[in-house]
Amino acid sequence: MKILVTGATGKLGSLVIENLLKNTTPENIAVSVRDTAKAQHLKDKGIDVRYGDFDKPESLKDAFKNIDKLLIISTDGDNETRIKQHKNAVNEAKIANVKFIAYTSVGKADTSTLPLAIVHKETEAFIKDSGIPYSFLRNNWYLENETNSFKEAISTGTWTNSIGEAKVGWALRKDYAKACAKVLTTNNHNNTVYELSRKPVSVREIVAIIENLTSKKININNIDEETYSNILKSNGLPEPVVAFVVGLQNSIKNNSLDIESKDFETLLGEPTTSLEESVEEIEARTAEHIAKRAIACLWVIQVACDLDNQKYDDETQEFVFDVLSRMQVLDELTDKEKAILNRDVSQQDVINMVWKYEAYWVLLWALGIVDALNYPESIVDCDFAIQAVTSVESFDEFMQKVQLRDMEEILDQADLIYRYDWACVDALLKQQAAPAGLNASVVMERHAALNWLIQRDGDWDHPDVST
């Protein structure tokens, strides 16, 4: 049996693969990705990495060849684009004679008032009409979507809330991933619909848990639709984006995600992660952790620059390893960074690492070394970025320069850059230039770094820019 997962380098997809490997061997797993270089770590594990682009149906012919079970993880973008992409995938799955399709949908997709439910309703219909046996995994809502709210509440003592007393069946992404893997590796799931919702709770109930865990009093600031809209506009979001986000929140306020269902635990055969445990998993990085990440990142970026200019030799390699050891950051190196240092990379890997300057700049800002994150329209001051690390002789000396910013300030930046990135992605999908002079590459790298700062399970090599 051959299982294929689309979107396997994304946050949910990565977790699905992790769970599949617990239940089957790598040779039974394939992935379809638009950039095979980003899936090298999966190939190294023995997984069959295939090129597939939902915007290029012809690429899916080979991607879906000889596949028994297919997991289609819903794509990102505007509704029209997503519907077209999903339709392409379903059509090619039928042509390739795929035996079973699992699809990540949304709660009560056929009747939901959520703006994004349109995509899922249409896709479910495509799959049903294809005649291929299916399972619809109707994910309620990722608790990780509330990360910024969690952090802000702990930092400021206030949870600003636009959904009132509405209840939501929040769960962690890892639980949804476990459910996906279960459907793909067990039988008797043909033509099933699973409403994957934990017991719905309100913001007030989440706040009570946070108060218990932190021993801090947290107030709830309920804001109306107009106030919420004005906040988004003041953060520079384009009108179409504001309308979408406000519509989404308004639908949740009207109980679109208040779904009672036992499907989650029944499918898993065990309880989902408790809300208390889930909240505990979302915590800030320490100053020391951020500082070590920054130092390691800068030196690897410099190596990437040397590689790009063909100036990295054995002597330089030895020197860099000595510095990393002296700065106490050897253990902080990621797999991609190790590959750069060992010259086991492609030219594209080198270029991607050089772009990490922008993510590294965010770390310097979070550490208080950079005064401000300017509007993301141009690249960083490289000379200053280099001097910030190379001017010190030890980790302790570097830490003397550090004054970690308040979580509230970091969260504000994370929220702002998320919205900038959303606007850039929306423009790209419409084949338009990034709005308001934004540099889309700078925005994306900042988004990745800020999410890493506020997500304990954030992966520097494979950043999550979906939230």
User: Would you state the structure tokens that stand for residue 28, as one six-digit string?
Assistant: 């039974």
Question: Residue 455, class by beta-carbon neighbours within 10 Å (0-12 exposed, 13-18 middle, 19+ buried)?
Answer: buried
DSSP category for residue 168: E
Domain layout of the chain by residue ranges: 3-142+171-199+261-271, 287-454
The confidence score (pLDDT) of residue 265 equals: 95
Residue 415 pLDDT: 85
Strand pairing category for 141-142 and 170-171: parallel
DSSP state of 439: -
131 by Cβ neighbours in 10 Å (0-12 / 13-18 / 19+) ranks as: exposed
Q: Among the residues of 355-399, which ranges form H helices?
A: 357-366, 382-390, 395-399
pLDDT of residue 279: 81
- Non-local CB neighbours of 91 within 8 Å, separated by 6+ positions: 57, 126, 130
Cβ(107)–Cβ(197) below 8 Å? yes
Radius of gyration of the chain (CA): 23
Residue 83: both structure tokens together = 């519907």
Per-position b or e across 176-213, b if 16+ CB within 10 A of its CB: bbbbbbbbbbeeebeeeebbbbbbbbbbeebbebbeee
- d(CA 356, CA 371) in angstroms, rounded, equals 19
pTM, rounded to two decimals = 0.69
Q: Which pLDDT score, from 0 to 100, does residue 456 have?
A: 67
Strand 167-168 and strand 201-202: pairing? Answer: antiparallel
Please report how the helices 173-185 and 11-23 are oriented relative to each other, as an axis angle in degrees rounded to 10.
Answer: 50
Residue-level pLDDT, tens digit, the chain, 467 residues = 999 999 998 889 989 999 999 999 999 999 999 988 888 889 989 999 999 999 999 999 999 999 999 999 999 888 899 999 999 999 999 999 999 999 999 999 999 999 889 999 999 999 999 999 999 999 999 998 887 788 778 778 899 889 999 999 999 999 999 999 999 999 999 999 999 999 999 999 999 998 887 788 999 999 998 998 888 888 777 888 788 888 888 999 999 999 999 999 999 999 999 988 888 776 556 788 899 999 999 999 999 999 999 998 999 999 999 999 999 899 889 999 999 999 998 999 999 999 999 999 999 999 999 999 999 998 888 899 999 999 999 998 999 999 988 877 888 888 899 889 888 988 888 889 999 899 999 999 999 999 898 876 678 888 777 66
φ, ψ dihedrals at 99, nearest 5°: -85, -20
Position 169: which residue type?
A: G
3 beta partners: 29, 69
β-pair partners for 104: 137
Q: How far apart are CA 432 and CA 429, in angstroms?
A: 8
Write the DSSP string, 99-138. SEEEEEEETTTTT---TTHHHHHHHHHHHHHHT--EEEEE
CATH number (3.20.20.70, 3.90.1150.200, 3.40.190.10, 3.40.50.720) of 3-142+171-199+261-271 reads 3.40.50.720
Q: Give the CB-side neighbour count of residue 428, counting CA atoms within 13 A.
A: 13
Assess contact for 221 and 152: CB atoms under 8 A: no
HSE-CB for 220 with a 13 A CA cutoff = 16
